[in-house]
Amino acid sequence: MPARLKWKAVLIGAVTVLALLMIAPSLMWDYQNNRSRMPDWWKKAKILPTRAVVLGLDLQGGMHLVVSVNTQEAITNEINHIKGSLREWLPKEKVRFEEINVLPGDILEIAFPDAENLQKGVDYIRRNFTVLEESGQEGGLRPRFRLKENVAEQYKSNAVNQIMETLQSRVDEFGVAEPSIQLQGRDRIVLQLPGIKEEDRNRVLNIIQRTAKLEFMLVEDFASSEDALLQRLGGRVPIGKRILPEVDKQGKIVAYYLLKEEPKITGDYLIDARVSSGSRTDLQAAVVEFRWNSEGARRFARITGENIGKQLAIVLEDTVKSAPVIRSRIYDRGIIEGNFSVQEANDLALVLRAGALPVGIKIEEERTVGPTMGKDLIRIGILSVLIAGVMVGIFMVVYYAGAGLIADIALLLNVIYILAALATLRASLTLPGIAGIVLTIGMAVDGNIIIFERIREELRLGKTPRSAIDAGFERSLWTILDANITTLIAGIILFQVGTGPIRGFAVTLTIGIFTTVFTCYTVSETIYQMLYTGREKVETMSIGMKVRSKEL
């Protein structure tokens, strides 16, 4: 046997053994209980694969969500932040202004009393707020500013990326196995959460959607009703202040607080949040204990040390959860009370650990697939592949005899290689993906038929089987490559623009193209070469036709 042929045989053998090792965990995986049934010695061997092929939502069951990101809110937040900074810094620069407002369209308008302060204020903004550009002037003394277009786009992009990271952290905290979170377009995110049951639906949606914005604000005043509080304020909320409600467990508003608008510290500095039991007012209620990082602890110690005797409101998602009086300096930890149930406290701790969403999101699409339906689809999918494989295999043997048997071997290896690739790449196998495997079987058979018909033509021309085989594979190569390359382009496009089931189909189709070309040429040709090497004078071959090489 020539050395080149030996190396090809070794390559095929190695690839096949590796593929079988990769799909072994899938064959021994309990998908219903999401656990492996492989023996302990296999699990302990670090070089052996332990991950099974991931089933898509349509097969395993779970939730499919499409959320839209309110990217414009990122611009609004930044403009409001700049507004607060200007209120603080313009007086320090001895620049007088009458008011600073945010107009519709996130336009920042500043009213100056005279031309001198106007010039000083505009010069200061140009020097220190380079992210802004002027967008017109109203009445001469009311310049308007907005974020530069490229800066605004960057803020929007950063918000989407941060939300993707936060959602990934929340899903990981929730314990979802093999979740998928992908960006669709510029402001939509697709989440696939396998294994989520119908009874967990509302809890998952709550965890995904809530902003978890945690703020600590000093209390200026409070009252049992908003009207009473406004009456004390002369009917108008002072600049730099805001009124927020306190809500009890039943959702009833029990008080209104006047707070300083700029939070003293936010949840961005948290490094941990855990559930504990027993609050000051209810020993049975669950509370959330939190811990700051070093910078957060330094800030919190300074804030509490400077405001002993004052109330510090703990504000979660624009609702006051509690407003305890600061008794002493507090350093790196604290608690959040709010009459939580254990489940509510656990969920709050989860989202606090994962981080707050910088802007709001909205559920645009939701689908839930039950595990029973998934099991039925798995059975139908496997049955369809088996029927397709058996029918094609029988046809090839009946029509092409011995050559058909070789094609069947290549076909079996093709399916094994596809499953191994899915396991290696951690790609999800979906019902459309199974359809892609069935289509791949047809494409692989089509490739073999082209080769076999070409070999038949060479045999009719009087060539020996060995020469006909070489010519058949050589002269059909470009025909098969051309067909597969065009299909590959279509598969790549489907993967790029599609979502969910369409992507599942595109993945198996694309993988199947590569495995088909490999099995059609490398595997089938190597088997033929091994059978006919050293037998150049043999005049017949089993390819479904009775013809001798020197018939013509």
Over residues 73-106, the pLDDT tens digits come to 999 989 988 988 898 889 999 999 998 988 888 9
Same domain, 320 and 233: yes
Same domain, 361 and 379: no
| Final residue before a domain boundary, out of 152, 171, 202 | 152
Residue 241 banded pLDDT, cuts 50, 70, 90: confident
Same domain, 289 and 310: yes
Same domain, 498 and 509: yes
- How many residues are there in the chain? 552
Instruction: Classify residue 171: in a domain, yes or no.
Output: no
Phi first, then psi: give them for residue 177, nearest 5 degrees: -85, 130
For tokens 């090839």, name the residue. Answer: 396
**Pick from 166, 196, 163, 150: which is nearest to 34 by CA?**
196
Instruction: Classify residue 136: in a domain, yes or no.
Output: yes
Residue 550 banded pLDDT, cuts 50, 70, 90: very low
Same domain, 109 and 229: no
The stretch 364-385 carries a mean pLDDT of: 75
Instruction: Classify residue 54: in a domain, yes or no.
Output: no
User: Is the model's pLDDT at 244 over the cut of 50?
Assistant: yes
Same domain, 275 and 293: yes
Same domain, 381 and 340: no
The stretch 420-445 carries a mean pLDDT of: 86
> For position 283, what pLDDT does the model report?
47
Instruction: Classify residue 421: in a domain, yes or no.
Output: yes
Domain range for 520: 370-532
Count of beta carbons in the 10 Å neighbourhood of residue 261: 15
> Which CATH number do you get for residue 105?
3.30.1360
Residues in CB range of 304: below 8 A, 6 or more apart? 312, 326, 328, 329, 330
Same domain, 441 and 363: no
The stretch 499-523 carries a mean pLDDT of: 87
Instruction: Classify residue 247: in a domain, yes or no.
Output: yes
Half-sphere exposure of 452 (CA within 13 A, CB side): 24
> Which CATH number do you get for residue 474?
1.20.1640.10
The stretch 132-149 carries a mean pLDDT of: 83
Phi first, then psi: give them for residue 27, nearest 5 degrees: -70, -25
| Final residue before a domain boundary, out of 343, 367, 391 | 367
> For position 151, what pLDDT does the model report?
92
Phi first, then psi: give them for residue 76, nearest 5 degrees: -60, -45
Same domain, 443 and 487: yes
> For position 443, what pLDDT does the model report?
86
Residue 110 banded pLDDT, cuts 50, 70, 90: very high
Residue 32 banded pLDDT, cuts 50, 70, 90: low
> For position 468, what pLDDT does the model report?
84
Half-sphere exposure of 397 (CA within 13 A, CB side): 10
Least confident of 48-57, 159-168, 452-461, 475-484: 48-57
User: Is the model's pLDDT at 271 over the cut of 80?
Assistant: yes
User: Is the model's pLDDT at 548 over the cut of 60?
Assistant: no
Average pLDDT along the chain: 84
The stretch 245-256 carries a mean pLDDT of: 84
> For position 552, what pLDDT does the model report?
37
**Pick from 346, 72, 71, 351: which is nearest to 213 by CA?**
351
Residue 3 banded pLDDT, cuts 50, 70, 90: confident
Least confident of 15-24, 439-448, 530-539: 530-539
The stretch 243-251 carries a mean pLDDT of: 83
Same domain, 228 and 358: yes
The stretch 6-23 carries a mean pLDDT of: 91
Instruction: Classify residue 50: in a domain, yes or no.
Output: no
pTM: 0.68
> Which CATH number do you get for residue 307?
3.30.1360.200
**Pick from 510, 516, 524: which is nearest to 422 by CA?**
510
> For position 285, what pLDDT does the model report?
67
**Cβ atoms of 52 and 21 closer than 8 Å:** no
Instruction: Classify residue 14: in a domain, yes or no.
Output: no
| Final residue before a domain boundary, out of 332, 348, 367 | 367
User: Is the model's pLDDT at 384 over the cut of 60?
Assistant: yes
Same domain, 377 and 347: no
Instruction: Classify residue 23: in a domain, yes or no.
Output: no
For tokens 């489940």, name the residue. Answer: 343
Q: How far apart, in whole angstroms, are the C-alpha atoms of residue 538 and residue 241?
A: 97
Same domain, 119 and 247: no
Number of independent structural domains in the chain: 3
